[in-house]
Structure 1
Amino acid sequence: MTDASRTPREKPLSPHLQVWRWHITMATSILHRATGCALYVGALIAAAWAIALAQGPDRYAQFKSLLGSIPGKVVMLGLTVSLFYHLANGVRHLVWDTGHGLDVKSANASAVLVLAFAAAATLAVWGIAGMTGAL
């Protein structure tokens, strides 16, 4: 016979967010996944736009008024940020795939650069849209 106890033992806990200190590369990794999911929503909105366009001017006008509302603009702003962030972080990953920029200092600097690009590109696009009367 064995000397093993028949009472269930607690499972060991693996280190998670309670143990690891948050850092910018961890945040950018999570944001990359989140923006990828948001872009799926954007694809559905683009499909709805095409369907509304195909259904005629009345349905398209309804769709435009929905996207032109405050909640619609907030969603579009979020999709713009998601698009530029995901694009820049994807380029960052391509650079990493070549074996460059993997040290901590370079990875942190590229994370800041990605965030700055996403913010600047979003502001530029929405600024141009505002100046041309598209908003």
Structure 2
Amino acid sequence: MSSIETRPAGRPARPLSPHLQVYRFSWTMAMSIVHRITGVALYGGTLLLAIWLVSAAAGKQSFDSVQWFFGSFLGILVLFGFTWALWHHMLGGIRHLIWDMGLMLEADNRMMLARVTLIGSIGLTVLTWIVGLAVK
């Protein structure tokens, strides 16, 4: 059966697209979704960075308030998530760059790159925080 059906009047209908239920969930699909989510999260993180810089320019009281938030458990959790989103999005971009060069397009290589993106982003996030806290 063709993916283009005809209407009774003889005019061709629009091509039928497969529904999401047709696809089997995979690592590459998950990493694609997470890559988009981290891209949106980076906007929020950039806004937090701008708030921090503006508070530094606004004076000691303003800066101390923002520093208090970033030093709280919630603030540290947000900063940790921002760090992970930054690493994950960067590694996802490198993964897409590799694919754009026509490399590692076979199914097993795509799955391996997706796993490396996730595991690498977690490892680099933890390493970043260990180094950051050691320098502090």
Give the structure-1-normalised TM-score. Answer: 0.84
Tell me if 1:107 matches 2:110.
yes
Question: Which residue number corresponds to residue 41 of structure 2?
Answer: 38
Tell me if 1:66 matches 2:56.
no
Q: CA deviation at 1:111?
A: 0.7
Tell me if 1:123 matches 2:109.
no
Deviations 1:96-117 (A, max 9, x none): 1111111111110111111111
Gaps of 5+ in 1: 5-12
Q: Distance in 1 between matches of 2:97 and 2:21?
A: 31
Question: Which residue number corresponds to residue 18 of structure 2?
Answer: 15
**Which structure's relative contact order is higher, taking Cα pairs within 8 Å and 6+ residues apart?**
1
| Backbone CA RMSD of aligned residues | 1.7
- The one-letter code sitting in structure 1 at the alignment partner of 2:130 is G
Q: CA deviation at 1:14?
A: 5.0
Aligned length: 123
Q: Distance in 2 between matches of 1:65 and 1:99?
A: 48
Deviations 1:28-84 (A, max 9, x none): 000000000000001101110111011011111110001111111111111011000
Question: Which residue number corresponds to residue 100 of structure 2?
Answer: 97
CA 1:16–1:70: 2 relative to 1, 3 Å: farther
